[in-house]
Amino acid sequence: MLEIGLTGGIGSGKTRVADMFAERGAALIDTDLLAHEITAPGGAAIAPLVEAFGPRCLRSDGAMDRDAMRALVFSDPSAKTRLEGITHPLIRQLTEARAAAIRSAGQHPYLIYVVPLLVESGTWRARVGRVLVVDCQEETQVARVIGRNGFTRDQVLAIMHKQATRAARLAVADDVIDNDGPPEALAPQVARLDALYRGLSASQAGA
């Protein structure tokens, strides 16, 4: 089975693109959703997070307080290292378990991992057969995130500056979807790549 890593900067539209591939039959594993799973009330990361950061890292419902942790890691690089040391191994374990189940079931033509920090992690390029980047102008990202999340421009830029640059993402891309245009421009691009991925996956199966 062909395995693809899908990435893009904040506001690029990678979630919408991933959902369009899923509508065509692709299997999806979204590492951001797994991160939410392990930091939900009772999640696998909660106890080690409290041990590392104290109860200030939790909301009243027992989930990780993402806003508080975001503010902390922006102000303290060592906190970012400690946070990632807890969450990244757990996310990887879950990712590998879900991928093994998908491969075993054999019900999908190919598998897409949605990985916002694919470039930054440094290991994903070797773990997938192809990298797909959802790309748009940086000003498009800013406008979308302001409209979607209500962040200020400075807040959006601060997040973007913590991510890989647009050029760095494009440098590792095997495939690119341009999401600067209207929503209807996505479907033909997804259809073309769906056909490509099905063909490559079938070739792998027959090899």
Binding residues for ATP, by number, are: 11-16
User: Of 113, 84, 87, which is closest to residue 98 (Cα–Cα)?
Assistant: 113
Cα gap 122→149, rounded to integer Å: 28
Q: How many CB atoms are located within 10 Å of the residue 204 CB?
A: 13
| Binding annotation | 11-16
Could you tell me if 9 and 160 are in contact, meaning their C-beta atoms sit under 8 angstroms apart? yes
Cα gap 23→8, rounded to integer Å: 20
User: Of 19, 29, 204, 188, which is closest to residue 102 (Cα–Cα)?
Assistant: 29
The residues near 125 (Cβ < 8 Å, ≥ 6 apart) are 5, 118, 131, 172
Map residue 196 onto helix, strand or coil.
Answer: helix
Q: Where in the chain does DSSP place strands (E)?
A: 2-7, 27-30, 110-114, 130-135, 175-178
Cα within 13 Å of Cα(206), Cβ side: 7
